[in-house]
Structure 1
């Protein structure tokens, strides 16, 4: 893990470079670069960080302008307003300068968690990458600032999911994902429109009350969603990666949170993974096997050579799972996705 020592400064340099850019582009598409460069550094590929950023740079936009300062008194009215992204990032920048970042995260996790579905779940994924970095190495200013950017983006894109009826579920995560009913009219609309058509999801892990069981179930969910991509990723090669990467972001964040917040994290992560499955799953699975024998490092090298930001981040999650089926899913993402030009 390349978070400490000689070349760790490369990640800090990249984050400083990226903090001059906004969290989105074209008013709706997420800036994935902070997450991707963290994944590269985490897998010992700091030498590729700036080369990759040079390729991704055309997708970056300038940092947005401010509207009105977010404070401890007016934050509720600014929550979920994407025009306030800069205001929110500035707010969390001040908060993390004045207090330990873990305290800020613990205060805001229960406030933000119900709205983790905005921004196609990218805000919580960005927070998960930032927290992994902070837990793995020095708490440098750029890394703490990255957490502030992630939390600010989440607050600006905060969107709850309501009116989702509980449907019969299954004991295991894989079977529960299989039981997710597809939304109507899956061929039209972006993420927000499709999310509005999710009206019912299977019950899974609803009875979990203990933090250790919540951690175990989240691990199971990430594994199941990652494995499922190998056979279902063709439904939508980009969006379906979030069925795995969003719950994995929650899983990565748990060690930095009070244990009392672990169960709510599990429940929100299941809703996110199941909703993405409902929105983009194909009509039928296809058979897919690992095409040969590959070490995890080889699979990550293929993802880096491909270059697509979602492929890199999904492969990062697949390597967390670590088994042969997860590696097959990562290679399936390489096969299905358009490379970064």
Structure 2
């Protein structure tokens, strides 16, 4: 029953575009996957009904992208329809794992695509596919890859190093802020190249070199989740992506060869550091006090009731962190973040 609800939801939004109003991401596929995965499948169709006025039709293609001429249209949102058609063809002709492994290293340098929503959408599709392989889930993976390709955006490159590694929370605290925080994310990320500290910060991937990549990635996610409790007030929605972007990469690892794990870790950290630099405030606030009457189900219900996909996706990420640590303070952070996002 759960799998059929997710596939029904994917079918409901299959003919919608990855964006609306020219740049705002379509969050429906990501939110419904999170709801189903967390046991709130009964809310899925009601949530889509409430989100329907924010969906636009799938864009038409301009001209087909030849298989060996993909570099030029990469990062061109005008070709979004062409990219959607391209990945429809790719996944109709090959197993999805082969398509993913070929395209992951091509797309990874542009992890900032769509304010990191490209990789996040792929990560949700990957979790669904690894749980059960169905045609609607394969199609959703293709749409996520197409969105990533159309909005492909590289970040300022890290320095050559070597740089000492540290724990993820300390690394986040060391991220410098971009000087002009009045503009949209593309303008903010463009300022990273002018920050003298950026190359060393982006190159100093947190974690112990003796730990495996999944452990280090989980540490980045966990640190970003906790930090949202003290810094998220400044930009509750945008700072969610500091946690959900690396979490998307973490979810994709099981389908990737281990040769791609290290560059995936580096790109995920760069994305988290970039979002932090672009939106974090100069000062922290006191973390919310841990409550005793909260549960993950209740917090997810609150998130669903707001109708905001970012609230749902952040609680989804908090759930992963809570599974690893069991720290009740995380429930208070999740509840506070849902309230902040709802009023942002």
TM-score band by shorter chain is over 0.9
The one-character-per-residue Cα deviations of 1:81-121 (angstroms, maximum 9, x if unpaired) are: 11111111111111112111111101111000000112100
- SS, match of residue 78 in structure 1: coil
CA distance in 2, matches of 1:130, 1:35: 8
For 2:329 and 2:267, the matched residues in 1 are separated by: 25
- Is residue 167–residue 206 contact of structure 2 (8 Å, CA) maintained in 1? no
Deviation at 1:129, TM superposition (A): 0.1
- 5 Å matches for 1:205-244? 205=205, 213-244=212-243
SS at match of 2:88: helix
SS in 2 for 1:197: helix
Change (3 A) 1:163 1:266: closer
How many Å separate the matches in 2 of 1:45 and 1:328? 20
TM-score (ref. length: structure 2): 0.92
Counterpart secondary structure, 2:156: coil
CA contact (8 A) 1:208 1:214 kept: no
| Equivalent residues of 2:28, 2:48 under 8 A apart | yes
CA distance in 2, matches of 1:62, 1:339: 28
Contact 2:236–2:340 (CA<8 Å) still a contact in 1? yes
Residue pair 1:169, 1:176 contacting (<8 A) in 2 also: no
Residues 209 and 259 (structure 1), Cα distance of their counterparts in 2 relative to 1, 3 Å cut: farther
Quote the offset at 1:329 in angstroms. Answer: 2.3
What is the number of equivalent residue pairs in this alignment? 332
Deviation at 1:165, TM superposition (A): 5.0
Match of 1:283 in 2: 282
1:209 positional shift: 7.2
Cα distance between partner residues in 2 of 1:206 and 1:79: 30
State the Cα RMSD in Å.
1.9
- Helix, strand or coil: the match of 2:178? coil
In 2, Cα distance between equivalents of 1:74 and 1:51: 42
73-82 vs 175-184, greater mean Cα deviation:
73-82
Deviations 1:223-282 (A, max 9, x none): 000000000001101100000000000000001111111100100000000010000011
Residue equivalent to 1:334:
338
Unaligned runs of 5+ in 2: none
TM-score, L = length of structure 1: 0.93
Match of 1:312 in 2: 312
Aligned-pair CA distance for 1:327: 2.2
